[in-house]
Structure 1
Amino acid sequence: MLDSDGCKAPPSDTITLPEKHAYSLFEASHKYDIPNLQDFCERYMFSSLNASNVLEILEISDVCSNKTLKETALNSIVRKMEDVVFSATYEGFAPNNLHLGVQITREFLMDAKTKRINGV
Protein backbone atom coordinates (compact mmCIF):
# COMPACT_ATOMS: atom_id res chain seq x y z
CA MET A 1 0.00 0.00 0.00
CA LEU A 2 2.79 2.39 0.83
CA ASP A 3 4.35 1.80 -2.61
CA SER A 4 1.25 3.14 -4.32
CA ASP A 5 1.63 6.45 -2.48
CA GLY A 6 5.26 6.81 -3.53
CA CYS A 7 6.35 6.25 0.07
CA LYS A 8 9.19 3.77 0.07
CA ALA A 9 11.64 2.87 2.78
CA PRO A 10 14.33 0.21 2.82
CA PRO A 11 13.33 -2.89 4.84
CA SER A 12 15.81 -1.94 7.56
CA ASP A 13 14.23 1.49 8.13
CA THR A 14 11.17 2.27 10.17
CA ILE A 15 8.28 4.44 9.16
CA THR A 16 6.95 6.86 11.75
CA LEU A 17 3.27 7.65 11.53
CA PRO A 18 1.38 10.47 13.25
CA GLU A 19 -0.82 9.50 16.19
CA LYS A 20 -4.04 9.73 14.18
CA HIS A 21 -2.70 7.25 11.64
CA ALA A 22 -1.98 4.77 14.42
CA TYR A 23 -5.64 5.00 15.45
CA SER A 24 -6.80 4.45 11.87
CA LEU A 25 -4.41 1.53 11.46
CA PHE A 26 -5.72 0.00 14.67
CA GLU A 27 -9.29 0.17 13.40
CA ALA A 28 -8.25 -1.25 10.02
CA SER A 29 -6.24 -4.05 11.64
CA HIS A 30 -9.32 -4.97 13.68
CA LYS A 31 -11.61 -4.84 10.66
CA TYR A 32 -9.32 -6.94 8.47
CA ASP A 33 -8.06 -9.18 11.30
CA ILE A 34 -4.34 -8.37 11.15
CA PRO A 35 -3.16 -9.42 14.65
CA ASN A 36 0.46 -8.22 14.39
CA LEU A 37 -0.62 -4.75 13.34
CA GLN A 38 -3.29 -4.72 16.07
CA ASP A 39 -0.68 -5.61 18.70
CA PHE A 40 1.72 -2.95 17.44
CA CYS A 41 -0.94 -0.23 17.44
CA GLU A 42 -2.24 -1.33 20.85
CA ARG A 43 1.26 -1.10 22.36
CA TYR A 44 1.66 2.34 20.82
CA MET A 45 -1.63 3.53 22.32
CA PHE A 46 -0.75 2.13 25.77
CA SER A 47 2.60 3.94 25.71
CA SER A 48 1.19 7.25 24.47
CA LEU A 49 -1.94 7.38 26.65
CA ASN A 50 -2.42 10.80 28.28
CA ALA A 51 -5.19 13.20 29.25
CA SER A 52 -5.32 14.78 25.80
CA ASN A 53 -5.81 11.56 23.82
CA VAL A 54 -7.50 9.23 26.31
CA LEU A 55 -11.03 9.92 25.06
CA GLU A 56 -10.10 9.08 21.49
CA ILE A 57 -8.36 5.90 22.65
CA LEU A 58 -11.43 4.99 24.71
CA GLU A 59 -13.64 5.50 21.68
CA ILE A 60 -11.40 3.39 19.44
CA SER A 61 -11.14 0.63 22.03
CA ASP A 62 -14.92 0.54 22.23
CA VAL A 63 -15.38 0.38 18.46
CA CYS A 64 -12.81 -2.43 18.21
CA SER A 65 -14.07 -4.26 21.31
CA ASN A 66 -10.62 -4.19 22.91
CA LYS A 67 -11.39 -4.81 26.58
CA THR A 68 -7.85 -4.34 27.92
CA LEU A 69 -7.31 -1.04 26.14
CA LYS A 70 -10.78 0.15 27.16
CA GLU A 71 -10.21 -0.66 30.85
CA THR A 72 -6.83 1.08 30.77
CA ALA A 73 -8.37 4.17 29.17
CA LEU A 74 -11.25 4.24 31.68
CA ASN A 75 -8.81 3.92 34.59
CA SER A 76 -6.72 6.74 33.17
CA ILE A 77 -9.81 8.94 32.84
CA VAL A 78 -10.80 8.25 36.45
CA ARG A 79 -7.29 9.21 37.65
CA LYS A 80 -7.35 12.44 35.59
CA MET A 81 -11.09 13.08 35.79
CA GLU A 82 -10.99 16.87 36.13
CA ASP A 83 -8.48 17.35 33.30
CA VAL A 84 -10.50 15.13 30.99
CA VAL A 85 -14.08 16.11 31.82
CA PHE A 86 -13.42 19.84 31.83
CA SER A 87 -11.56 19.76 28.51
CA ALA A 88 -12.85 21.05 25.19
CA THR A 89 -12.39 17.54 23.80
CA TYR A 90 -14.93 16.16 26.26
CA GLU A 91 -17.48 18.73 25.08
CA GLY A 92 -17.49 17.12 21.64
CA PHE A 93 -17.00 13.57 22.89
CA ALA A 94 -19.90 13.36 25.36
CA PRO A 95 -22.87 14.02 23.02
CA ASN A 96 -21.54 11.54 20.45
CA ASN A 97 -20.68 8.80 22.94
CA LEU A 98 -23.44 8.73 25.54
CA HIS A 99 -22.82 5.09 26.47
CA LEU A 100 -19.14 5.82 27.12
CA GLY A 101 -20.07 8.86 29.21
CA VAL A 102 -22.22 6.57 31.35
CA GLN A 103 -19.32 4.11 31.69
CA ILE A 104 -16.95 6.92 32.71
CA THR A 105 -19.40 8.09 35.36
CA ARG A 106 -19.87 4.55 36.71
CA GLU A 107 -16.12 3.91 36.83
CA PHE A 108 -15.56 7.19 38.66
CA LEU A 109 -18.28 6.43 41.21
CA MET A 110 -17.04 2.85 41.75
CA ASP A 111 -13.52 4.18 42.31
CA ALA A 112 -14.81 6.75 44.81
CA LYS A 113 -16.82 4.06 46.60
CA THR A 114 -13.80 1.74 46.81
CA LYS A 115 -11.65 4.55 48.20
CA ARG A 116 -14.34 5.42 50.75
CA ILE A 117 -14.69 1.78 51.87
CA ASN A 118 -10.92 1.36 52.13
CA GLY A 119 -10.53 4.68 53.95
CA VAL A 120 -8.31 6.19 51.28
Structure 2
Amino acid sequence: MDCCICSPVASVYRLPRNTICLSCYEGAKSIVAHLNNLESQVDTAPKESSGVSQSNSLKGLANVWVWMKKMMEMEEQMKEKLCFLEGFVSAFRDGAHTDIFLKAGNGPPIPSHKSLLATKSEIFKTMLECEDIKSGLTDTVTLPELTHAELRSLLEFLYAGSLPDPDADAHAGPLMLASDKYCVPFLRRFCECRMLGSLDPSNALDVLEVSDACSNHRLRERAMEVVVKHVEEIVFSDKYEAFALKNAHLCVDVARALVVQLKARKDKHT
Protein backbone atom coordinates (compact mmCIF):
# COMPACT_ATOMS: atom_id res chain seq x y z
CA MET A 1 0.00 0.00 0.00
CA ASP A 2 1.25 3.49 -0.90
CA CYS A 3 2.69 5.70 1.83
CA CYS A 4 0.50 8.75 2.43
CA ILE A 5 3.60 10.93 2.86
CA CYS A 6 6.31 9.97 0.39
CA SER A 7 4.34 8.17 -2.32
CA PRO A 8 4.08 10.17 -5.57
CA VAL A 9 0.46 9.07 -6.07
CA ALA A 10 -0.86 9.64 -2.56
CA SER A 11 -1.97 13.27 -2.78
CA VAL A 12 -5.00 12.89 -0.52
CA TYR A 13 -4.96 11.43 2.95
CA ARG A 14 -7.80 8.89 3.09
CA LEU A 15 -8.30 6.80 6.18
CA PRO A 16 -8.04 3.90 6.59
CA ARG A 17 -6.58 3.08 3.18
CA ASN A 18 -3.47 5.22 3.46
CA THR A 19 -0.58 4.10 5.60
CA ILE A 20 2.86 5.42 6.42
CA CYS A 21 5.98 3.56 5.36
CA LEU A 22 8.69 2.54 7.81
CA SER A 23 11.13 5.23 6.64
CA CYS A 24 8.61 8.04 7.13
CA TYR A 25 7.51 6.56 10.45
CA GLU A 26 11.06 6.44 11.79
CA GLY A 27 11.76 9.92 10.43
CA ALA A 28 8.66 11.32 12.14
CA LYS A 29 9.66 9.67 15.41
CA SER A 30 13.12 11.21 15.20
CA ILE A 31 11.72 14.67 14.49
CA VAL A 32 9.26 14.44 17.37
CA ALA A 33 11.93 13.18 19.77
CA HIS A 34 14.26 16.00 18.76
CA LEU A 35 11.58 18.66 19.14
CA ASN A 36 10.47 17.32 22.51
CA ASN A 37 14.07 17.33 23.67
CA LEU A 38 14.41 20.96 22.63
CA GLU A 39 11.14 21.87 24.32
CA SER A 40 12.27 20.25 27.55
CA GLN A 41 15.34 22.50 27.59
CA VAL A 42 13.36 25.72 27.25
CA ASP A 43 11.46 27.23 30.15
CA THR A 44 7.95 28.03 28.97
CA ALA A 45 5.28 29.90 30.86
CA PRO A 46 2.27 27.80 31.93
CA LYS A 47 -0.65 28.12 29.57
CA GLU A 48 -4.35 27.80 30.32
CA SER A 49 -5.94 24.58 29.20
CA SER A 50 -8.06 24.89 26.07
CA GLY A 51 -10.05 21.80 26.94
CA VAL A 52 -8.31 19.78 24.25
CA SER A 53 -5.59 17.47 25.44
CA GLN A 54 -2.76 17.21 22.97
CA SER A 55 0.39 15.21 23.63
CA ASN A 56 3.82 16.76 23.31
CA SER A 57 4.56 14.44 20.41
CA LEU A 58 1.51 15.50 18.42
CA LYS A 59 2.11 19.15 19.25
CA GLY A 60 5.76 18.90 18.24
CA LEU A 61 4.95 17.24 14.93
CA ALA A 62 2.14 19.66 14.13
CA ASN A 63 4.38 22.66 14.83
CA VAL A 64 7.51 21.40 13.09
CA TRP A 65 7.27 24.03 10.35
CA VAL A 66 6.77 26.78 12.93
CA TRP A 67 9.86 25.58 14.74
CA MET A 68 11.86 25.49 11.49
CA LYS A 69 10.83 29.08 10.70
CA LYS A 70 11.97 30.17 14.16
CA MET A 71 15.32 28.48 13.60
CA MET A 72 15.73 30.25 10.25
CA GLU A 73 14.91 33.59 11.87
CA MET A 74 17.46 32.92 14.60
CA GLU A 75 20.04 32.07 11.95
CA GLU A 76 19.41 35.37 10.17
CA GLN A 77 19.71 37.26 13.45
CA MET A 78 22.98 35.49 14.17
CA LYS A 79 24.32 36.44 10.74
CA GLU A 80 23.40 40.08 11.37
CA LYS A 81 25.12 39.94 14.75
CA LEU A 82 28.28 38.50 13.22
CA CYS A 83 28.29 41.21 10.56
CA PHE A 84 27.91 43.82 13.29
CA LEU A 85 30.85 42.39 15.25
CA GLU A 86 33.11 42.32 12.19
CA GLY A 87 34.04 45.89 13.06
CA PHE A 88 36.48 44.48 15.62
CA VAL A 89 38.21 42.49 12.89
CA SER A 90 38.48 45.56 10.68
CA ALA A 91 39.96 47.55 13.56
CA PHE A 92 42.63 44.88 14.03
CA ARG A 93 43.47 44.55 10.35
CA ASP A 94 43.58 48.31 9.85
CA GLY A 95 45.46 48.94 13.09
CA ALA A 96 42.86 51.49 14.16
CA HIS A 97 43.27 53.04 17.65
CA THR A 98 45.60 50.30 18.88
CA ASP A 99 47.25 50.73 22.27
CA ILE A 100 49.49 47.67 22.74
CA PHE A 101 51.97 45.66 20.67
CA LEU A 102 52.40 41.89 20.75
CA LYS A 103 55.72 40.50 19.59
CA ALA A 104 56.40 36.92 18.54
CA GLY A 105 59.71 35.09 18.59
CA ASN A 106 60.44 36.51 15.15
CA GLY A 107 59.19 39.29 12.95
CA PRO A 108 57.88 42.76 13.78
CA PRO A 109 55.41 43.45 16.62
CA ILE A 110 51.69 43.38 15.84
CA PRO A 111 49.44 46.21 17.10
CA SER A 112 46.38 45.22 19.10
CA HIS A 113 43.87 46.49 21.67
CA LYS A 114 44.26 46.00 25.42
CA SER A 115 40.53 45.91 26.06
CA LEU A 116 39.90 43.07 23.64
CA LEU A 117 42.86 41.01 24.84
CA ALA A 118 41.77 41.43 28.45
CA THR A 119 38.22 40.27 27.71
CA LYS A 120 39.33 37.20 25.75
CA SER A 121 41.93 35.86 28.18
CA GLU A 122 42.40 36.15 31.92
CA ILE A 123 46.10 35.55 31.39
CA PHE A 124 46.38 38.46 28.98
CA LYS A 125 44.38 40.57 31.41
CA THR A 126 46.88 39.84 34.18
CA MET A 127 49.83 40.52 31.88
CA LEU A 128 48.37 43.87 30.84
CA GLU A 129 47.92 44.92 34.47
CA CYS A 130 51.64 44.79 35.25
CA GLU A 131 53.19 48.07 36.38
CA ASP A 132 55.46 48.51 33.36
CA ILE A 133 52.50 48.49 30.97
CA LYS A 134 50.13 50.47 33.20
CA SER A 135 52.74 53.17 33.74
CA GLY A 136 53.57 53.34 30.05
CA LEU A 137 57.15 52.20 30.58
CA THR A 138 56.63 49.60 27.86
CA ASP A 139 53.94 49.07 25.24
CA THR A 140 54.99 45.61 24.07
CA VAL A 141 54.13 42.11 25.30
CA THR A 142 56.36 39.32 23.99
CA LEU A 143 55.13 35.81 23.23
CA PRO A 144 58.41 34.12 22.27
CA GLU A 145 56.95 30.63 21.82
CA LEU A 146 54.96 31.75 18.76
CA THR A 147 56.16 32.67 15.30
CA HIS A 148 54.94 35.87 13.70
CA ALA A 149 52.44 33.96 11.52
CA GLU A 150 51.14 31.97 14.49
CA LEU A 151 50.72 35.12 16.59
CA ARG A 152 48.80 36.83 13.80
CA SER A 153 46.51 33.81 13.54
CA LEU A 154 46.00 33.87 17.31
CA LEU A 155 45.00 37.53 17.22
CA GLU A 156 42.81 36.97 14.18
CA PHE A 157 40.93 34.31 16.11
CA LEU A 158 40.57 36.46 19.23
CA TYR A 159 39.03 39.22 17.13
CA ALA A 160 36.92 37.14 14.73
CA GLY A 161 36.24 33.89 16.58
CA SER A 162 37.35 31.84 13.57
CA LEU A 163 40.16 31.40 11.08
CA PRO A 164 40.41 30.72 7.35
CA ASP A 165 40.92 27.02 6.64
CA PRO A 166 44.55 27.32 5.46
CA ASP A 167 45.61 29.19 8.62
CA ALA A 168 43.59 26.91 10.88
CA ASP A 169 45.16 23.77 9.42
CA ALA A 170 48.68 25.20 9.39
CA HIS A 171 48.66 26.56 12.95
CA ALA A 172 46.24 24.29 14.81
CA GLY A 173 49.00 22.71 16.92
CA PRO A 174 50.72 25.91 18.11
CA LEU A 175 47.36 27.59 18.66
CA MET A 176 46.22 24.61 20.73
CA LEU A 177 49.25 25.11 22.96
CA ALA A 178 48.56 28.85 23.09
CA SER A 179 44.92 28.26 24.05
CA ASP A 180 46.10 26.15 26.96
CA LYS A 181 48.79 28.58 28.08
CA TYR A 182 46.66 31.72 27.82
CA CYS A 183 43.39 30.07 28.88
CA VAL A 184 41.16 30.56 25.83
CA PRO A 185 38.67 27.64 26.01
CA PHE A 186 36.86 28.53 22.78
CA LEU A 187 40.12 28.46 20.84
CA ARG A 188 40.97 25.14 22.50
CA ARG A 189 37.73 23.57 21.26
CA PHE A 190 38.24 25.05 17.80
CA CYS A 191 41.76 23.63 17.50
CA GLU A 192 40.68 20.27 18.87
CA CYS A 193 38.00 19.95 16.19
CA ARG A 194 40.43 20.96 13.44
CA MET A 195 43.07 18.51 14.60
CA LEU A 196 40.60 15.66 14.94
CA GLY A 197 39.22 16.38 11.49
CA SER A 198 42.64 16.31 9.83
CA LEU A 199 44.17 13.49 11.89
CA ASP A 200 46.01 10.91 9.77
CA PRO A 201 49.27 8.91 9.88
CA SER A 202 51.28 11.86 8.55
CA ASN A 203 50.49 14.11 11.52
CA ALA A 204 49.53 11.63 14.26
CA LEU A 205 52.82 12.08 16.12
CA ASP A 206 52.45 15.87 16.10
CA VAL A 207 48.90 15.62 17.41
CA LEU A 208 49.98 13.12 20.06
CA GLU A 209 52.74 15.46 21.24
CA VAL A 210 50.43 18.49 21.40
CA SER A 211 47.66 16.56 23.15
CA ASP A 212 50.11 15.36 25.78
CA ALA A 213 51.39 18.88 26.41
CA CYS A 214 47.81 20.18 26.78
CA SER A 215 46.51 17.16 28.72
CA ASN A 216 43.77 16.72 26.12
CA HIS A 217 42.69 13.12 26.70
CA ARG A 218 40.26 12.91 23.79
CA LEU A 219 42.84 14.11 21.28
CA ARG A 220 45.49 11.89 22.84
CA GLU A 221 43.36 8.75 22.57
CA ARG A 222 42.46 9.39 18.94
CA ALA A 223 46.07 10.13 18.00
CA MET A 224 47.25 6.99 19.80
CA GLU A 225 44.68 4.92 17.90
CA VAL A 226 46.04 6.20 14.58
CA VAL A 227 49.65 5.55 15.62
CA VAL A 228 48.88 1.98 16.70
CA LYS A 229 46.79 1.29 13.60
CA HIS A 230 49.58 2.48 11.29
CA VAL A 231 52.45 1.53 13.57
CA GLU A 232 54.72 0.05 10.90
CA GLU A 233 54.43 3.10 8.65
CA ILE A 234 55.00 5.52 11.53
CA VAL A 235 57.60 3.79 13.71
CA PHE A 236 60.02 3.17 10.85
CA SER A 237 59.92 6.79 9.68
CA ASP A 238 62.63 9.41 10.27
CA LYS A 239 60.02 11.55 12.00
CA TYR A 240 59.55 8.92 14.69
CA GLU A 241 63.25 8.95 15.56
CA ALA A 242 63.14 12.69 16.23
CA PHE A 243 59.87 12.24 18.11
CA ALA A 244 61.36 9.51 20.32
CA LEU A 245 64.29 11.71 21.37
CA LYS A 246 61.89 14.32 22.78
CA ASN A 247 59.03 12.11 23.97
CA ALA A 248 60.37 8.90 25.48
CA HIS A 249 57.32 8.55 27.75
CA LEU A 250 54.98 8.68 24.75
CA CYS A 251 57.01 6.00 23.00
CA VAL A 252 56.49 3.81 26.07
CA ASP A 253 52.75 4.47 25.83
CA VAL A 254 52.78 3.56 22.13
CA ALA A 255 54.55 0.28 22.91
CA ARG A 256 52.06 -0.55 25.65
CA ALA A 257 49.09 0.27 23.42
CA LEU A 258 50.55 -1.96 20.71
CA VAL A 259 50.99 -4.85 23.16
CA VAL A 260 47.39 -4.46 24.32
CA GLN A 261 46.18 -4.55 20.73
CA LEU A 262 48.25 -7.63 19.89
CA LYS A 263 46.98 -9.40 23.00
CA ALA A 264 43.39 -8.57 22.09
CA ARG A 265 43.89 -10.02 18.62
CA LYS A 266 45.46 -13.16 20.06
CA ASP A 267 42.61 -13.65 22.52
CA LYS A 268 40.10 -13.17 19.72
CA HIS A 269 41.58 -16.03 17.71
CA THR A 270 41.90 -18.45 20.62
TM-score by length of structure 2 reads 0.40
User: Which is helix-richer, 1 or 2?
Assistant: 1
| Identical counterparts, % of pairs | 37
Which amino acid in structure 2 is aligned with residue 15 of structure 1? P
The structure whose Rg is larger is 2
Equivalent residue, structure 1, for 2:174: 24
Aligned to 2:164: 15
1:117, distance to aligned residue in structure 2 (A): 0.8
The one of 103, 108, 112 aligned to 2:258: 108
TM-score (norm 1): 0.86
Distance in 2 between residues matched to 1:18 and 1:35, nearest whole Å: 16
Find the counterpart in structure 1 of residue 229 from structure 2: 79
After superposition, residues 50-69 of structure 1 pair within 5 angstroms as 50-69=200-219
| Structure 1 spans left out of the alignment, 5+ residues | none
Higher relative contact order (CA 8 A, sep 6+): 1
User: Alpha-carbon deviations, 1:19-77, whole Å to 9, x = none?
Assistant: 34111111001111211111110010001111111001000000000011101111111
Normalized per residue, the structure richer in strand is 2
Shift >6 Å, 4+ stretches: none
- Aligned residue pairs total 116
Unpaired runs of 5+ residues, structure 2, are 1-88, 94-109, 112-151
Q: Does 1:48 align with 2:198?
A: yes
- Provide the C-alpha distance between the structure 2 equivalents of 1:101 and 1:76, rounded to a whole number of angstroms: 14
Alpha-carbon distance between aligned partners in 1 of 2:241 and 2:268, rounded to the nearest angstrom: 33
- Please provide the CA RMSD for this pair: 2.3
Q: Distance in 2 between matches of 1:64 and 1:14?
A: 21
- What is the Cα deviation at residue 84 of structure 1? 0.6
